[in-house]
């Protein structure tokens, strides 16, 4: 009836080799004449058909439908007849066996030459080589002969009195070294210190990073996009999310690096406030199986050393020595020397 969708019919075809009727799904439609000849030739070699049946089929020239299993069987038959394992072996196989197969081919197609037959055979085997399952000999040649694993060998058990004594771990053998580790704690926002300032700030707003009030015209608004805000929260932590207000939020410009701004002072896209914590260099000492923490030193911090003013010290020391000499003698005081001499050098002078 018009307007109704008809179910597709499962058409059946007859195989050109075995003559069995199968559905289209199990058939392979072959349109190349040389491939049809090789498939029929493989059926003749296996004894499934005679040469007269093959010639009769080629004279009719109907639509060639072949069972998919015959493609693999044809390759196996040709490989076994020519004693080859892959398409590349066709050019180096025995000339006598190739000539015998070529004579059978000439009975079906008399105008075919040897060069054409080798080309047809090579193209057919290369196109349908994946249909052929590897044989036992192919697997042995590819993977090699399996060797006995060393774990299967029986180990010789020696009596305890014949074994070598175990090495005793002495205290002197245990290393006692030190090593330095750069540690970095999890980032934390500055504490919320609300110090009441008497100065009036125009357009006041509270920074969500340091919780300090400032002029919102000099601050940077927190983006409202879900992706960029999620990136900020992932960098700054959950405490930053708690400080966010439902309407507008701002962050001081000081909390961004200089590379985050363009030449005109505008914040670049995707910039995130500074979220790196201070690194600490910790020295550990290995004592046996334990790690002893020796000291902590901030990474990049210079050690404080006492500065000595050599010029002032030299002048003061020379004045002190001159005053001591002048107390016990009536000689006039000598001029201060440019360099502070030791008492022995002064006696020599």
Question: Is the pLDDT higher at 294 or at 9?
Answer: 294
Q: Is residue 75 part of a domain?
A: yes
State the pLDDT at residue 142: 60
Look up the domain containing 287 and give its range: 173-188+277-300
pLDDT band at 109 (very low <50, low <70, confident <90, very high): confident
State the pLDDT at residue 151: 53
| SS3 (DSSP) at 102 | helix
Q: What is the separation of C-alpha 253 from the centre of its chain, rounded to a whole number of angstroms? A: 37
Q: Are residues 103 and 19 in the same domain?
A: yes
Q: Are residues 244 and 289 in the same domain?
A: no
With a cut of 50, say whether residue 298 has pLDDT above it. Answer: no
State the pLDDT at residue 5: 53
Q: Is residue 306 part of a domain?
A: no
Q: Are residues 89 and 49 in the same domain?
A: yes
Q: Are residues 237 and 182 in the same domain?
A: no
pTM over 0.85: no
State the pLDDT at residue 245: 87
Question: Is the pLDDT higher at 136 or at 320?
Answer: 136
Total tally of structural domains belonging to the chain? 3
With a cut of 70, say whether residue 334 has pLDDT above it. Answer: no
Q: Are residues 295 and 233 in the same domain?
A: no
Place of tokens 């920074």: 207
Q: Are residues 71 and 113 in the same domain?
A: yes
In this prediction, residues 285-298 reach a mean pLDDT of 66
Q: Are residues 124 and 199 in the same domain?
A: no
Tens-digit pLDDT profile for residues 56-74? 888 776 567 777 777 888 8
Place of tokens 């004279």: 59
In this prediction, residues 113-132 reach a mean pLDDT of 84
- The beta strands (E) that lie in 194-272 are given as 204-206, 213-215, 219-221, 250-252
Q: Is residue 305 part of a domain?
A: no
Question: Is the pLDDT higher at 128 or at 349?
Answer: 128
With a cut of 80, say whether residue 88 has pLDDT above it. Answer: yes
Q: Are residues 101 and 216 in the same domain?
A: no
Q: Is residue 153 part of a domain?
A: no
Q: Is residue 218 part of a domain?
A: yes
Q: Are residues 266 and 293 in the same domain?
A: no
Q: Is residue 67 part of a domain?
A: yes
With a cut of 80, say whether residue 342 has pLDDT above it. Answer: no
Tens-digit pLDDT profile for residues 8-50? 455 556 777 776 666 555 677 777 888 888 888 888 888 888 8
With a cut of 80, say whether residue 206 has pLDDT above it. Answer: yes
Q: Are residues 217 and 295 in the same domain?
A: no
Q: Are residues 182 and 207 in the same domain?
A: no
Comparing CA positions, the residue from 38, 37, 9 lying closest to residue 25 is: 9
Q: Name the token pair of 302.
A: 């210079």
**Non-local CB neighbours of 78 within 8 Å, separated by 6+ positions:** 38, 42, 45, 101, 121, 125
Q: Is residue 319 part of a domain?
A: no
Q: Is residue 94 part of a domain?
A: yes
State the pLDDT at residue 126: 85
- Quote the DSSP letter at residue 282: E
Decide: 224 and 214 in contact? Cβ < 8 Å.
no
In this prediction, residues 315-342 reach a mean pLDDT of 52
- Helix (H) or strand (E) holding 179, with range, is strand 178-184
Q: Are residues 179 and 290 in the same domain?
A: yes
Q: What is the dihedral of CA 75, 99, 106, 89, to 10 degrees?
A: 30
Q: Which of 102-116, 136-150, 205-219 has the lowest mean pLDDT?
A: 136-150
Tens-digit pLDDT profile for residues 228-269? 888 888 888 888 888 888 888 999 988 888 888 888 888 888
Mean pLDDT value across the chain:
72
């Amino acid at each position: 009836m018009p307007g109704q969708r008809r179910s597709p019919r499962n058409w059946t075809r007859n195989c050109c080799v075995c003559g069995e009727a199968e559905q289209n799904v199990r058939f392979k439609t072959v349109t190349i004449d040389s491939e049809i000849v090789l498939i029929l030739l493989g059926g003749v070699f296996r004894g499934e058909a005679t040469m007269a049946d093959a010639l009769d089929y080629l004279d009719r020239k109907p639509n060639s439908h072949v069972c998919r299993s015959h493609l693999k069987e044809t390759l196996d038959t040709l490989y076994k007849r020519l004693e080859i394992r892959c398409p590349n072996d066709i050019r180096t196989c025995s000339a006598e066996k190739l000539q015998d197969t070529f004579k059978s081919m000439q009975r079906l197609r008399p105008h075919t030459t040897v060069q054409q037959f080798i080309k047809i055979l090579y193209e057919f085997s290369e196109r349908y080589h994946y249909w052929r399952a590897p044989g036992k000999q192919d697997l042995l040649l590819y993977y090699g002969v399996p060797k006995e694993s060393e774990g299967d060998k029986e180990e010789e058990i020696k009596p305890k009195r014949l074994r070598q004594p175990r090495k005793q771990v002495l205290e002197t053998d245990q290393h006692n070294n030190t090593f330095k580790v750069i540690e970095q704690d999890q980032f934390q926002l500055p504490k919320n210190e609300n110090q009441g300032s008497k100065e009036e700030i125009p357009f006041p707003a509270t920074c969500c990073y340091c919780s300090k009030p400032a002029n919102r015209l000099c601050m940077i608004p927190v983006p409202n996009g879900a992706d960029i805000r999620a990136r900020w929260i992932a960098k700054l932590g959950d405490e930053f999310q708690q400080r966010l207000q439902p309407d507008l939020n701002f962050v001081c410009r000081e909390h961004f690096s200089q590379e985050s701004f363009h030449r005109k002072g505008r914040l670049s896209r995707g910039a995130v406030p500074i979220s790196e914590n201070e690194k600490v260099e910790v020295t550990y000492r290995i004592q046996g199986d334990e790690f002893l923490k020796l000291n902590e030193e901030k990474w990049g911090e210079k050690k404080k050393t006492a500065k000595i003013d050599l010029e002032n010290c030299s002048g003061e020391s020379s004045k002190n020595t001159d005053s001591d000499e002048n107390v016990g003698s009536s000689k006039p005081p000598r001029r201060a020397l440019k360099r502070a001499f030791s008492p022995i050098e002064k006696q020599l002078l």
